[in-house]
């Protein structure tokens, strides 16, 4: 799913950026599993909507990144949802490869059980072979 630049700019105008950012949830479009939670600045939203590929703003690295730019594990946008406050978006995506840089399909591969974080997903790839 791609939008024109004018359409993307029109969406951005309806969002409420806080410290320049909105929260982005990427979800598998089939299973609805949450793949990752990250942030987007205006440019990341525009690039995501106009290219159909998820782009994020990395707070730790202080730069825009195309998800998959190194791993080629791109996220193709299928649908975009906006919350009541306009400061969070849910993206239904088609995930190539796996979302997590640690090799799991989803970054949420651990569940809380009796106060411990228990790994419930198996690795899909070895990070050292991809990055």
Binding site for a copy of itself (CB under 8 A): 3-4, 6-8, 10-11, 14, 18, 23, 25, 27, 31-34, 36-37, 49, 59, 79-85, 88, 90, 100-102, 104, 107-112, 114-117
- Using an 8 Å Cβ cutoff, are 57 and 27 in contact? no
Q: How far is the CB of 64 from a copy of itself (least distance, A)?
A: 18
The 8-class DSSP code of residue 15 comes to S
The number of CA neighbours under 13 Å toward the Cβ of 55 is 17
Q: Which two tokens stand for residue 23?
A: 């929260």
Q: Which is nearer to a copy of itself, 72 or 112 (CB)?
A: 112
Which residue is associated with the tokens 């479009």?
29
Q: Which is nearer to a copy of itself, 83 or 94 (CB)?
A: 83
Q: How far is the CB of 129 from a copy of itself (least distance, A)?
A: 17
- Using an 8 Å Cβ cutoff, are 103 and 127 in contact? yes
Q: Which is nearer to a copy of itself, 37 or 69 (CB)?
A: 37
């Amino acid at each position: 799913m791609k939008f024109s630049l004018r359409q993307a700019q029109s969406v951005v105008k309806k969002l409420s950026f806080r410290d320049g950012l909105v929260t982005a949830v990427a979800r598998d479009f089939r299973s609805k599993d949450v793949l990752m939670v990250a942030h987007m600045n205006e440019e990341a939203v525009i690039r995501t909507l106009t290219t159909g590929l998820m782009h994020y703003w990395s707070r730790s690295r202080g730069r825009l990144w195309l998800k998959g730019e190194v791993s080629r594990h791109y996220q193709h946008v299928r649908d975009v949802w906006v919350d009541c406050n306009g400061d969070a978006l849910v993206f239904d995506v088609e995930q190539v490869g796996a979302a997590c840089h640690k090799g799991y399909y989803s970054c949420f591969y651990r569940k809380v059980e009796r106060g411990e974080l228990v790994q419930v997903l198996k690795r899909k790839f070895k990070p050292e072979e991809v990055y």
